[in-house]
Amino acid sequence: MPSRDPRVVIIGAGVAGITAGVVLEQAGFENFVIVEKGSDVGGVWHWNRYPGLTCDVPSQIYQFGFAPKPDWSQIWAEGSEIQRYHREVVEAFGLTDRLMLDSEVTDAVHGADGWTVTLAGGRELRADFVIAATGVLHHPFTPDIPGVERFTGSVVHTARWDEAIETVGKRIAVIGSGSTGVQVVSALQPQAAALTQFARTPQWVLWAPMGLRQPRLLAKLLAAAPAAHQRLYSTLLWGSGILADIALKPTWRRRAAQRLARWSLTTQVRDRELRTALTPDYEPFCKRQVLSGTYHRAIGADNAALVTEPISEITETGLRTADGTHHDLDVIVFATGFHPHNYMRPMNLRGRDGLSIDEAWAKGPRAYRMTAIPGFPNLFTVLGPNSPTGSISLQYSAELTARYITQWLERFRDGEFETVEVTEEATVRFNDSVAEAMGPTVWNTGCNSWYFTEENTIDLWPFDRKTMTALLTAPDDRDFLIGHKDGNLR
Judged by CB under 6 A, the stretch of 51-59, 119-127, 269-277, 378-386 that binds ligand NAP is: 51-59
Looking at the chain, the number of H-run helices and the number of E-run strands are 14, 21
- Position of minimal CB gap to ligand NAP: 178
Distance CA 291, CA 293 (A): 7
Judged by CB under 6 A, the stretch of 194-202, 221-229, 246-254, 456-464 that binds ligand NAP is: 194-202
| DSSP 8-state code for residue 236 | H
143 vs 226, beta carbon nearer ligand NAP: 143
Cβ 486 to ligand NAP, closest distance in Å?
Answer: 47
**Residue from 40, 56, 128, 421 binding ligand NAP (CB under 6 A):** 56
Report which of 179, 206, 146, 162 is spatially closest to residue 336, judged by C-alpha positions: 179
Site for ligand NAP in 322-341 (CB under 6 A): 335-337
- 175 part of the interface to ligand NAP, by CB under 6 A: yes
Cβ 161 to ligand NAP, closest distance in Å?
Answer: 12
Q: How far apart are the first and last CA of the chain?
A: 17
- Taking CB under 6 A as the rule, which mask of x and - marks residues 119-148 in contact with ligand NAP? ------------------x-----x-----
Residue 196, strand partner residues = 173, 305
Cβ 421 to ligand NAP, closest distance in Å?
Answer: 31
| Phi, psi dihedral angles at 79 (to 5 degrees) | -55, -40
- 450 part of the interface to ligand NAP, by CB under 6 A: yes
Judged by CB under 6 A, the stretch of 21-29, 53-61, 397-405, 434-442 that binds ligand NAP is: 53-61
69 vs 413, beta carbon nearer ligand NAP: 69
Distance CA 384, CA 330 (A): 39
Q: At what angle do helices 15-26 and 394-413 cross, to 10 degrees?
A: 40
The DSSP H or E segment spanning 338 is: none
- Taking CB under 6 A as the rule, which mask of x and - marks residues 225-264 in contact with ligand NAP? ----------------------------------------
DSSP states of 247-298: HH--SHHHHHHHHHHHHHHHHH---HHHHHHH--SS-TTSSPPEEESSHHHH
Judged by CB under 6 A, the stretch of 147-155, 196-204, 404-412, 426-434 that binds ligand NAP is: 196-204
Task: Give the C-alpha distances (Å, rounded to integers) separating 150 from 32, 327, 348.
Answer: 48, 15, 34
**Which residues of this chain interact with ligand NAP, rule CB under 6 A?**
54-57, 137, 143, 175-181, 183, 198, 200-201, 288, 311, 335-337, 389, 448, 450
